[in-house]
Amino acid sequence: MNVPVLMYHSVGFPDKDWIHSHLTSSLSEFENQIKTFKRAGFTTITLLDLYKYRTQNKQIPKKSIVLTFDDSYLDNWIYVYPVLKRYGLKGTIFVSPEFVDPSKEARPNLFSIKNKSLKEKSKLMKLGFINWNEMWIMEEEGVMDIQSHTMTHTFYPVFPKVIDYRKPSSFGKFDKYVWMDWNKYPDKKYDYFNTNFPDSSGEPVYEFKEAIIARKFFPDSSKYETKDEHGKIFKNENIYNLFLKLSKEKVDLYIGVSEATKQMLIKNARIDHEKIKVLYNFVDLEKFNPESLEKYNRDIEREKLGINKTDFVIGFVGRLSKVKGCEYLIKSIPYMDISNFKVLIAGDGLEREKLEKLVKNLNIKDKIIFLGYVKDILSFYRMIDVLVFPSKFESFGISVIESQSCCVPVVASNVGALNEIIKDNENGLLFEFANEKDLAEKIRFIEKDKEFGARLIKNGVCSVKKYSLENYLNALNLIYNYIKMPRILITGCNCSINKGSAAMLISTVTAIKKFIPNAKFVMLSKFPENDYKECRKYGIKMVDYKALRSINPLRMLFCLFRCMIWSILIKYLNFNIAILIKGKVLQEYKKCDILIDLSGDGLNHGFVWSIISFGGILLAIIMGKPALIYPQSIGPFTPLSKYLARFALNKVNFITAREEITKNYLKKMGIDRVPVYLVIQFVQNIKNLFTSDNYYRTFLF
């Protein structure tokens, strides 16, 4: 059955001065149309209703129509909502979260005229967008279904498997996108998923991340088929290398779900190990636990599959692909010295036909049951006595911790990620990958020695607790905080050969850490190994700045030119070409949030050295970074270098001088457009720059 869909934008009184007036239907036209639908016996359904009818193969009510309202204009609240409610009809609004009005209270609409809280219709607002409270009212009353506005108006369906991150117990039950359930969670969330959209509503973006991320990066999902990614991108090395070359300079941090994944990124993609954090996956312990299995009768569940109560049942769960190694489990069966046993294989995939042929050739059809996709995985865990995980490689292995939390011992191949979860002979057993005899022997250990198996189960239940959702979210929060740490780049310091420089560096770092405990410090060093020995207990990362140390100033001038081009592209074209800012040293300038230059004589030497010293300061300025000068001394400048000093130092945020003489000298040299403080004022002034209240704003100037 075909269902007509009518799409409206704005409803009200067309205003010729409004750029979108051609999208507006008058109130009288709209109300007449609604009356006509009502008199003709049409039934309105939302797009969500239509989606459910289609996917659940239910009969759509006769004479159904869908009314949609695009862009979430304010008149949808003022005129459309009252009219639809009056005639008992409903529609779907596609909301652009970045344009939601920041007001908190619901504004007057036609109902306000009816109840006389507003006397004249002309007093109603004409232009604008709806706010969260207005959306909440319309959805709560069943008049409007709120959906995500996309670049091409593509409808993003909702489905039961979408997880509500703020209600862990509802995994698998929540049937709306998280962003659509904003009305139930009025408290603010941390803005972890800010996607640089204008924050018009004054609210964080976290609640709407699925919709906004899909809108920004997948503008027309109807053209693509969505599939799980299981390492296919690594199979085409050329494409993957190109992808990493274009993207890794823009990535702040990679998260690997295991050490094995981290090593794969380092080896295959050449990602700097310092840019990778390991965050193990989690298991929903509220779902996967011994108590949850009690509702399943073990004997009855086995009886459904024709398995005896006394049989020893070996389980495998996963997609049937080469990398999962199910063939090795099947090949191990002839070596098993177990009297009565069965093997349950849960999952499906391209290798199923080959595996079934293998079973037939080995003449073990009576031992193996292919279950296909298992909807209720808890009943599966309830039936089995041991889970086998014979993979060639795993990025993590979520089924391992699921089974452990359900008191099922695990035998896994001794490969990356799995040997991080399983400690051999403690909370599980490891076997040599593709060694069928070794696998059969490890399974027999558990079947024969019940006490040993019970110890593995007990230790497994204990070890799996560290993979709880609570621990996962705490670790994730630490990672986000790590990303948000202010990154401070220190230049012009030779602490291993100059104790005065070392004292200045240490005092600066110590002072800043008192009010920014999580600050990250990076120092450009001539002698990184020696400087690291002096400063390692202060957590300062050293970067060798050979790229900018050449006495040939042409290299620095070339670097400045490239950075100026990059800056212009960013500022005027909103176009970021990271390839223009290559090189480890230049990347440090790009990544830092603020530059503190501790140069001493470097600012006073001849013209060549001055270009190099002042060039670093100009690099930060061109890239839009706050720059602070805290030198041991400034001046006297040479006739040529004074022009560089005047040009560069008048553009920094402030300069610290050791005494009034230097302060007056700078003023005399024409460096008078920037505050100059004495050393004793440095800590207070940098503290003002870094206060928690204005920290994020300070990095915009």
Secondary structure (H, E, C), 64-82: EEEEEEECCECHHHHHHHH
- Predicted pLDDT of residue 227: 32
Each residue's pLDDT tens digit, 28-42? 889 999 999 999 899
Tokens of 294: 């009690």
Tokens of 271: 């990602």
- Predicted pLDDT of residue 166: 32
CA 89, distance to chain mean position in Å, is: 39
Low-confidence stretches of the chain (pLDDT beneath 50): 151-233, 547-551, 574-581, 606-608, 691-701
For the chain, residues classed under CATH 3.40.50.2000 are 290-466, 485-698
Q: Which helix (H) or strand (E) holds 369?
A: strand 368-372
- Predicted pLDDT of residue 547: 47
Contacts of 388 (CB under 8 A, 6+ apart): 314, 315, 316, 329, 410, 411, 412, 439, 443
Residue 374 is classified by DSSP as -
For the chain, residues classed under CATH 3.20.20 are 5-217
Q: What is the DSSP string of 110-160?
A: HHHHHTTSS--GGGS--S-B--HHHHHHHHHTTSEEEEE--TT-------T
Residue 41 is classified by DSSP as T
pTM over 0.75: no
Is residue 636 reached through a cis peptide bond, with omega within 30 degrees of 0 on the bond before it?
yes
Contacts of 489 (CB under 8 A, 6+ apart): 522, 523, 524, 588, 589, 592, 594, 595, 596, 620, 625
Which CATH number is 5-217's, of 3.40.30, 3.20.20, 3.40.50, 3.30.70?
3.20.20
Each residue's pLDDT tens digit, 395-405? 899 999 999 99
What sign does the dihedral 643-644-645-651 (CA atoms) show? positive
Tokens of 682: 């440095």
Contacts of 49 (CB under 8 A, 6+ apart): 145
- Predicted pLDDT of residue 195: 34
Q: In sequence order, which ranges of 236-383 are alpha helices (DSSP H)?
A: 237-247, 259-269, 290-293, 298-304, 326-332, 352-361, 377-383
Q: Which CATH class is domain 290-466?
A: alpha beta
Tokens of 162: 């979408």
The hierarchical CATH code for the domain 485-698 is: 3.40.50.2000
**Burial state string for 574-584 with b = 16 or more CB within 10 A and e = fewer than 16:** eeeebebbeee
